[in-house]
Amino acid sequence: MKSDIDRPYLVQLRSAMLLVPWLLVIAVSGVAALQGVHETLRQPLLHIQENTLSEAMRILSRNIAALRRDVLLTASMVEPATTGVDEAGSRMAERFCIKFAQTTERYDQVRWLDERGQEKLRVNYRDRQAILIPPAELQDKSDRPYFRETIRLEKGEVYFSALDLNVEHGQIEKPIQPTLRIATPIFDAAGVRQGIIVLNYRADVLLERLREMRFSNDLEIHLLNQEGYWLLAPNRSDEWGWLLDRPNKTLIRANAPLWRAMLIDDQGVFEDDDGIWSFERFNLADSALQERFGRITTISPITWRLLVRLPKAYLVQQEWKWRLAILFICFGATGLAFWSSSRLALARKALEQRSHALAGANQELRQSMETLQALQDELVRAEKLSSLGLMVAGVAHELNTPLGSATVALSVLEQRTEQLRSQMAIGLKKSDLERFVADGQDGVKLATAAIERAAGLVKQFKQLAVDRTTMEARIFDLAEVVRNAHPLLRRWDDKRLVRLALKLPENLPMDSYPGPLGQVVGNLVDNALMHAFPAGRQGLLRVSATAWGESEARIIVEDDGEGIPAEILPRIYDPFFTTRRHEGGTGLGLHLVHQLVTTLLQGRIEIQSATGEYGGISGTRVTVTVPRVVEHSQRSGA
């Protein structure tokens, strides 16, 4: 008798029965796909557009933060030269400004203006060369708005100018050079205002970074000032209209509804016939930026507006491509369904047979897995027993000597007792009793000492099993200075992915420089948080301090982060060496730490690090050892 699989008409019937559901699925799916292609295509593109806008905002924020740090760093390095008439201090300030301009490569000018607005130092950076301008060519800038605004600021406050084109000798420099001026006041050691530091930032670096960071070739990035003129546009001829005699080149004239929408909302999405616009306002006067970067001052509120456009033509083009692709897929799927339904009918029996065989194989596999798990559990138990056996063997070996001594002493005492009993039977002499008492005392002392030694060993093995910005010197408490060295050490945010372990001594007085010591600890904590733990990585930061010997103190900052590669370790103290320059790093943190520790604090510093290659432990340990009392001669020199 033939089976169903051998009858052709039954095979055709099965094929038809299998084909009908396929055709229904293809028809319904095709219609749904054609109707949903608009939103299906739109949402990923909007997501890319939003990511592009967010990344552009982050680039602006990071650059503003880096500019603020740079001007404050320059001020801190120039301020020592403002005290007295020390030529060495002035030369040091000049060397720093030259090296700073050469290293950063993003400032056209680095200047120091005195309290009257007269340039005291200017370094020009042109053609990859930093040039110190002779004193005879220094100019009076007292009438410039950036001087008048900055000279009134307090220490730590930073001034930002409007973003415009650089002007040389009354004419716009050609080729055009977008420029942003950053300034901050400087003070001498007595707190007297000594002028300002001004950096001329080459903003073309920032603008080109924005121009090149698009996640899709079809997106357009626009940057406008508060009057609606383009600072960055897809068509370069639209840029800098108010400076290049092109007053009509504004978004107000090009797309008035979009401009009105941007005036109403700080951020949002606007859609018109030109496409979909995502926009967001970047204002240096915003409280959020002030809180993050510190006090920022401008002549007038500086507002930039970022826009990312997704062209409507691109959306329509992509929709038609997807619709045609869906139609081709439906036709292909229909043909495939005809072919597959017949093949499926013929293969059903074979599938059933293979399923049965697979079930048997799965059963064997489960048995093998159970056997493997049992072997693994047995191996774990053996490993635990091996470890326990080693400990027991160690205990037995160490206890053998004192217990043996106690046994011998007690055995001898027992023998002497038997001898005494025998002598008592035949007549005990006083000398025999005295000798027995003396021997007994010696034996008891020996046994007691041996037992105490055994008890000490047991205690040891039990423990082993259980344990698996001022330059003034003054007297201060080490724990207080370390705790105040960084805001996070006083109050750690428990929501951070990185945890803190703080261990500080009680009542450990120091006669040294609390300001530089606090700066060392703060820089080390910042360095660990910036380099050891990239975004999203959890870890532990340990900060501890203790007395070291009779005359020193030791501070340790260690983490379990990424570690420092071996090829970088020899250069970590070099000035301006950094692996995070694109994130605003200056490369001076560890250099300053090394200088402060080895000179002013009269101590030493050691760094040990591992990157966790081949599955090993990663992390970095920085050990700073300083005298608790600095030498009097160096204290006076400070």
pLDDT, one tens digit per residue, over 219-263 is: 889 999 999 999 999 899 999 999 998 999 999 999 999 999 999
Q: Evaluate the omega torsion of the peptide bond into residue 175 and state whether it is cis, within 30 degrees of 0.
A: yes
pTM of the model: 0.48
- 93 φ/ψ sector (left φ>0, alpha ψ -120 to 50, else beta): alpha
In this prediction, residues 274-287 reach a mean pLDDT of 81
pLDDT of residue 100: 93
HEC assignment per residue over 497-553:
CEEEEEECCCCCEEEECHHHHHHHHHHHHHHHHHHCCCCCCCEEEEEEEEEECCCEE
Q: Write out the E strands in 90-166.
A: 107-113, 119-126, 129-132, 158-160, 164-165
DSSP labels, 572-600: TTSTT--S-GGGT--S-HHHHHHHIIIII
In this prediction, residues 275-290 reach a mean pLDDT of 75
Helix pair 204-212, 8-78: axis angle to 10 deg: 170
Flag whether pLDDT at 294 surpasses 80: no
In this prediction, residues 64-91 reach a mean pLDDT of 83
Task: Give the residue carrying structure tokens 């009918």.
Answer: 345
pLDDT of residue 612: 78
Beta-bridge partners for 109 = 124, 200
Higher pLDDT, 466 or 303: 303
Higher pLDDT, 48 or 297: 48
Amino acid at 170: G
pLDDT of residue 530: 83
DSSP H or E run through 618: strand 618-627
Burial 258-273 (b: 16+ CB within 10 A, else e): bbebbeeeeeebbeee
What tokens were used for 187? 């003070």
HEC assignment per residue over 545-559:
EEEECCCEEEEEEEE
pLDDT of residue 183: 95
Q: What is the pLDDT of residues 337-384, one digit of tens each?
A: 666 666 665 566 565 567 777 787 888 878 877 875 565 445 434 433
What is 1-372's CATH topology?
Answer: Beta-Lactamase (3.30.450)
pLDDT of residue 373: 57
What tokens were used for 326? 């869906």
Residue 605: closest CA among 620, 631, 626, 588: 626
Higher pLDDT, 294 or 25: 25
Non-local (6+) Cβ contacts of 72 within 8 A are: 156, 158, 184
Amino acid at 12: Q
Q: What is the pLDDT of residues 296-350, one digit of tens each?
A: 555 446 789 999 998 887 776 766 665 666 666 766 666 666 666 666 655 665 6
Average pLDDT of the chain is 79
How sure is the predictor about 458, in pLDDT bands with cuts at 50, 70 and 90?
A: low
- The mean-pLDDT minimum among 118-127, 193-202, 424-433, 441-450 falls in 424-433
Dist CA 479 CA 472 (whole Å) = 18
Q: To the nearest 10°, the Cα dihedral for 619, 622, 623, 624?
A: -170
Q: What is the pLDDT of residues 530-556, one digit of tens each?
A: 888 887 788 899 999 999 999 999 999
Q: Residue 115 has what DSSP assignment?
A: T
- The mean-pLDDT minimum among 74-83, 115-124, 311-320, 555-564 falls in 311-320
In this prediction, residues 20-25 reach a mean pLDDT of 66
pLDDT of residue 261: 93
How sure is the predictor about 584, in pLDDT bands with cuts at 50, 70 and 90?
A: low
pLDDT of residue 331: 66
In this prediction, residues 20-27 reach a mean pLDDT of 65
DSSP labels, 456-489: HHHHHHHHHHH-------EEEEHHHHHHTSSHHH
Give backbone dihedrals phi and psi of 540, rounded to 5 degrees, phi first. -135, 130
**Cβ neighbours around 623 below 10 Å, total:** 15
pLDDT of residue 569: 86
- The mean-pLDDT minimum among 130-134, 457-461, 604-608 falls in 457-461
Is the distance from CB of 515 to CB of 471 less than 8 angstroms?
yes
Amino acid at 121: L
pLDDT of residue 251: 92
Return the CATH superfamily for domain 474-637: Histidine kinase-like ATPase, C-terminal domain (3.30.565.10)
How sure is the predictor about 132, in pLDDT bands with cuts at 50, 70 and 90?
A: very high
How sure is the predictor about 466, in pLDDT bands with cuts at 50, 70 and 90?
A: very low
pLDDT of residue 36: 56
Give backbone dihedrals phi and psi of 424, rounded to 5 degrees, phi first. -65, -30
Task: Give the residue carrying structure tokens 């300083």.
Answer: 626
DSSP H or E run through 269: strand 267-272
Q: Is 5 exposed, middle or buried, given 0-12, 13-18 or 19+ CB atoms closer than 10 A?
A: middle
For residue 515, give Cα distances in angstroms to 474, 521, 602: 10, 10, 14
Dmax (CA) of the chain: 137
For residue 226, give Cα distances in angstroms to 178, 250, 253, 259, 391: 16, 11, 14, 11, 76
Flag whether pLDDT at 128 surpasses 50: yes
How sure is the predictor about 387, in pLDDT bands with cuts at 50, 70 and 90?
A: very low
Share of the chain above pLDDT 90, in %: 34
- The mean-pLDDT minimum among 10-24, 51-65, 125-139 falls in 10-24
Q: Is 522 exposed, middle or buried, given 0-12, 13-18 or 19+ CB atoms closer than 10 A?
A: buried
Non-local (6+) Cβ contacts of 3 within 8 A are: 349
**Cβ neighbours around 374 below 10 Å, total:** 10
- 502 φ/ψ sector (left φ>0, alpha ψ -120 to 50, else beta): beta
